[in-house]
Every structure is written in structure tokens, then in C-alpha cells.
Amino acid sequence: MKSAHRWLLVGIGAALLVLFESRAAYAMHIMEGFLPPLWAGLWFLLVLPFWVLGIRRINRLIAEKPETRLLLGFAAAFAFVLSALKIPSVTGSSSHPTGTGLGTILFGPLVMSVLGSIVLLFQALLIAHGGLTTLGANAFSMAVVGPFVAWFIWKGLQDRAPIWLAVFLAAAMADLSTYVVTSIQLALAYPDAVGGFAASFAKFGAIFAVTQIPLAISEGILTVLIFNALQANAQAELQSLGVLKGVRA
């Protein structure tokens, strides 16, 4: 990647840090200790295979295409910054963008499962967002389900729709699907005393949807803008990754 491209990515990252600087004091994702041990352990078991496959994929990618390391770092930074923007939504969690759509489009869902989990780990350790015991649950919703939803949408529209629309829908639906899964996770752990899982899921989902729908739309638009900047200034890298193959302008 040329020096000018590097400075462009640095500038975009700095701008995102300024725009979405983390502020005050609300729990992020599912907070530390909020899930019962049985459920916390189960989500770790479910996410573990994706981490193993994702690490293998990253190692192979770096070995075959070492020039993509900067883009890998940028995709992780993009997810870190966006998911640190938070709007209080419900006790034990909050609504926020996820930033996983961009990295998924660039590298695929297995790579993003690792990058997204690293983002969640650093947020738990450095800024008290989420937690270590709930890392498996948060990673499953944001770093596994969200990226796979984005990937299926991206691949399904890649040859059939304008590129901006494919990027927008992939990023927006990755965001929304994350919170559908988070609502399921909370409802499973804390079913309603009267209505059980269904009533609890409806309650959590309705509260999240108030803030998550506009956030998902905003994330989709921002991801399109960032993708356009990469397409204009790092086209060789995108072509090397196969991102631009077969898409329509």
C-alpha cells in the first residue's frame, strides 16, 4: 500500500476517534457477571471453533498477502471505535454500532470473528465495556453472527446490486442481527416469570430496536463512505482480496 494510502487510513481512523470518542459510564455489550455461569460457559464453547478457524485463516492470509496487514489493523480499529459509541438501552447492556460489516466484506466472517473478539477483549480490559466472563456471549453475537449475516448479504448481492447497496445492507444487517442475538441471549438467561422466553425476548428486542434501527442505518451509511474511500485509494489491495470482483458500481 502506498504511503498516501496509509495516511488516508490514519486520517480516517483519527476522524472516527474524534467523532465517536467513548464517553461516560454505561455498561457496554453484556456486562461482566450479568450472565449465569452455565450460559456464560456455553457461549464460550459455541464461539471457540470460530476462533480456531479464524486464526488459521488470518495466518494464511498474512503469509500469502502480507500487504493486507494494514487493512487488517484498520478493520479492527474501525470495529473498536464504532462499538465504543454507546446509547443506554437496557440494564446490563446498551445499544451501539458494531463496525463488523466492513471487516467482513474485506476479509470474510472467520477473520472478523477473531478481530471482533479482540476488540471486545480490549474493550473489557481497557474501558470496562462488556466483561471477561461474558466475552463468549458478546463475541458470538457481535463477532460471529453479525459477520456471517453480513457475508451472506454481501455475497448474495455482489453480482446483483450496486456496490453501495450491498455494502450498506451488509453493514446495517450485521448491526441489527447482533442485537437480535443479544436479545435471545438475555431472554434465555432471564426468561419472564409469566411469559417465559418469548415474553422476555419481546421485551429485550423492543427496547433495543428503539435505538438500534437508526444506529444500524447510520452504520450502513458510514461503512459505505469508508468503503468508497478505500475503493478510491486502495483499489489494488481490494482487488487482491477479491472484494471488487464482480460488483457493480
- pLDDT confidence band for 27 (50 / 70 / 90): very low
Q: Is the pLDDT of residue 39 over 70?
A: yes
Cβ partners under 8 Å of residue 157, min gap 6 = 165, 166, 169, 170
Grid cell digits, residue 5 = 494510502
Structural domain 26-240, CATH architecture: Orthogonal Bundle (1.10)
Grid cell digits, residue 206 = 423492543
Of the given ranges (38-47, 52-61, 189-198), which has the lowest mean pLDDT?
A: 189-198
Q: Is the pLDDT of residue 18 over 90?
A: no
**pLDDT on residue 169:** 97
- pLDDT confidence band for 42 (50 / 70 / 90): very high
Of the given ranges (83-87, 204-208, 215-219, 227-231), which has the lowest mean pLDDT?
A: 83-87
Of the given ranges (5-14, 89-98, 175-184), which has the lowest mean pLDDT?
A: 5-14
Of residues 95 and 104, the one with the higher pLDDT is 104
Q: Which of left, alpha, beta for 130 (phi over 0: left; psi -120 to 50: alpha)? A: left
Of residues 116 and 212, the one with the higher pLDDT is 116
**pLDDT on residue 197:** 94
- pLDDT confidence band for 249 (50 / 70 / 90): very low
**pLDDT on residue 210:** 72
Q: Is the pLDDT of residue 205 over 70?
A: yes
SS (H, E, C) 179-248: HHHHHHHHHHHCCECCCHHHHHHHHHHHHHHHHHHHHHHHHHHHHHHHHHHHHHHCHHHHHHCCCCCCCE
**pLDDT on residue 212:** 83
**pLDDT on residue 12:** 52
Share of the chain above pLDDT 90, in %: 57
pLDDT tens digits for range 144-160? 999 999 999 999 998 88
**pLDDT on residue 208:** 74
Q: Where are the domains of the chain?
A: 26-240
What's the rounded mean pLDDT across residues 37-60?
96
- pLDDT confidence band for 127 (50 / 70 / 90): confident
Of residues 242 and 105, the one with the higher pLDDT is 105
What's the rounded mean pLDDT across residues 241-248?
69
DSSP assignment, residue 24?
A: S
What is the number of other CB atoms lying within 10 angstroms of the CB of residue 103? 29
Of the given ranges (25-34, 162-171, 223-232), which has the lowest mean pLDDT?
A: 25-34
